[in-house]
Amino acid sequence: MRIAIVDESGLRATILEEGLREAGFDDIHAVPPTGAFVARLERLAPDVVLIDLGTPSRDSLEEMLAVSRALSRPIAMFVDQSDESMIGAAIDAGVSAYVVDGLRKDRVKPILDLAIRRFNAFARLRTELEEARTALADRKKIDRAKAILMEQRGLAEADAYTLLRTTAMNQGRRIADVADALITATEMLGGPK
């Protein structure tokens, strides 16, 4: 079974491809949705197309599937009538599958299931990475703000942090935002960099 993955994120495509190979599929092609990707897909004549719903090129793909004379069998979106929640899960995860006419449902479902799981895992990974980045940036800001308070007000490190925290609590803001404001103000007043 030939599977094409249309995804703007090369990293996610690779993660999905690995998963499919582990599951025993070996005829897999990643096709980024840029340039003449529709013509490339047409030449590939895949049995299954997994497409990232975030790409605006999905309408172009559907048009090719509707009019292509090069494809020997029509390809349509995979819809399992008995399980509409699966389509909901696929849309939530941001992936959709197109399959050739006549391909058995029980052969397609595990592929889409796997795609949904990998897409979700990728999204979680990205959120965690983003959170880690924010946490690191926040800590740097707080350290700098503490240093400013220690230098300008002669506070001990623990007291500088307490002051930042109390101010944040009183104003209903995040400590990092208070720290950020302090850094900006100090820079504008020509204080220590």
Partner 1 sequence: MTPISVAFLPLTDSAVLIAAKAMGFAEAEGIDLGLVRDTSWANVRDRLVYGQVQAAHMLAPLAIAVTLGLSQHPAAIAAPFKLGVNGNALTLSSELAAALDPVPRSRILDPTATAHDFAAAIGLHRRKPVIGIVHRFSSHAIMLRYWLGFAGVNPDRDVTLRVLPPSLMVEALHAGEIDGFIAGEPWSSVAVAEGLGEIVAIGANIWQRGVEKVLALRQDWMEANPETVDRLLRALDRAAAWCDDPANRPALAELLSQPHHIGQPAEIITQALSGQLPIARGEEPIESPDFLLFHREAANFPWRSQALWIYSQFVRWGLAKADASAEAAAANVFRSDIYRRALAGGPTPMPGASMKLEGALRAPLAVGSDRGTLTLGPDRFFDGRIFDPAEIHDYIAGFEPTR
Smallest separation (angstroms) from partner 1 to the CB of 63: 4
Binding-site member from 96, 119, 160, 161 for partner 1 (CB under 8 A): 96
Smallest separation (angstroms) from partner 1 to the CB of 118: 19
- Say whether 118 sits in a helix, a strand or coil: helix
160 touches 146 (CB < 8 A) = yes
Query: What residues from 138 to 167 belong to the interface with partner 1 (CB under 8 A)?
Result: none
Q: From the CB of residue 191, how many other CB atoms can be counted at a distance below 10 Å? A: 13
Looking at the Cβ atoms of 8 and 143, the one nearer to partner 1 is: 8
Strands, E assignment, the chain: 2-6, 27-30, 48-52, 75-77, 95-100
Binding-site member from 30, 53, 121, 168 for partner 1 (CB under 8 A): 53
Binding-site member from 39, 70, 91, 125 for partner 1 (CB under 8 A): 91
Say which residues have a Cβ less than 8 Å from residue 2's Cβ, sequence separation at least 6. 27, 28, 29, 44, 45, 46, 47, 48
Lookup: tokens for 62: 């559907």
Which region among 13-21, 39-47, 81-89, 100-108 touches partner 1 (by CB under 8 A)?
A: 81-89
Which region among 14-22, 42-50, 55-63, 184-192 touches partner 1 (by CB under 8 A)?
A: 55-63
